A and B are shown apart, each in its own frame.
Chain A
């Protein structure tokens, strides 16, 4: 399979705590993106990190990328109930038009 993998598959935390999810991938990439999917909806883009970047922030989101380990992590700080969703990483394969999605992490934030 070409797909990446997210870890953990499911995560349950209390409101106000931080949530960390990880993504591993297999190929050489141009960039890596994180998406959120609420139940019954399409995916929504959260943040993109290029292969020459190591860390990026957007509001309460922090993404890191380690190309030597072919891995990325997404940190959501001070989580809210509204952050309850599935989170997917997607890699842009070098030299193609295609994105490859991971299998997702289901995050549940308890109020």
Chain B
């Protein structure tokens, strides 16, 4: 399995609090992605990174920010959590991005509940 660690694995917090999720990889892959998974919606892209300090928005980026100061770490921050952000969050990595005919490798997810 690809070396991807998501932390925390579970978190319960209150509306209005800031939350940071971490994705750590040991594969030295250039591309990193954050998705959320909700029933009936499949996986939706929040933000992605194509290199250190290089990030871009995905389909559902409102209310989220990201940072990537090192190749191995990609942080997802909810500045002020809302109940609509209750979800399972997945990090994925890829060698070459969508154009390079390479698969994504996924972490096991973070289950986030916002009360």
On A, residues with C-beta under 8 Å from B are 2-3, 30-31, 33, 35, 40-45, 48, 50, 88, 90, 92-104
Pairs A-B, 5 closest by C-beta atoms: A42-B106, A92-B98, A45-B103, A97-B97, A103-B42
* Contact partners of A100 in chain B: CB under 8 A: 45, 59
CB-CB under 8 A for A97 and B48, given A43-B90, A102-B42, A103-B41:
yes
A97:B98 contact, CB within 8 angstroms: yes
Residues of B within 8 A of A94 (CB): 99
- 24 residue pairs from A and B, CB less than 8 Å apart: A3-B44, A30-B98, A30-B101, A33-B104, A35-B106, A42-B4, A42-B90, A42-B107, A43-B43, A43-B90, A43-B92, A45-B105, A48-B102, A88-B43, A92-B98, A96-B98, A97-B50, A97-B56, A97-B98, A98-B45, A99-B33, A99-B98, A100-B59, A101-B35
User: Is the pair A99, B104 in contact by a Cβ cutoff of 8 Å?
Assistant: yes
Instruction: Provide the residues of chain B in CB contact with A41, threshold 8 Å.
Output: 108-109
CB distance from A88 to the nearest CB of B (A): 6
B31 and A97 within 8 A (CB): yes
18 new A-B contacts at CB < 8 Å, known A92-B101, A100-B45: A3-B41, A3-B42, A30-B99, A33-B104, A42-B4, A42-B106, A50-B101, A92-B99, A96-B98, A97-B50, A97-B99, A98-B58, A98-B98, A100-B59, A101-B35, A101-B43, A101-B44, A102-B42
> Which residue on chain A has the smallest CB distance to residue B97?
A97
- A97 to B107, alpha carbons, bound, how many Å? 19
- With contact pairs A30-B101, A33-B103, A48-B101 given, residues A98 and B42 touching in the complex (Cβ less than 8 Å): no
* A101 adjacent to B42 (CB under 8 Å): yes
Instruction: Summarize A's interface: helix, strand, loop or mixed.
Output: strand
Query: How far, in Å, is A37 (CB) from chain B's closest CB?
Result: 8
A93 to chain B: which residues have CB within 8 Å? 98
List B residues 1-21 near A (Cβ within 8 Å): 4
B42 A88 Cβ-Cβ under 8 A: yes
B58's closest neighbor in chain A, by CB? A98
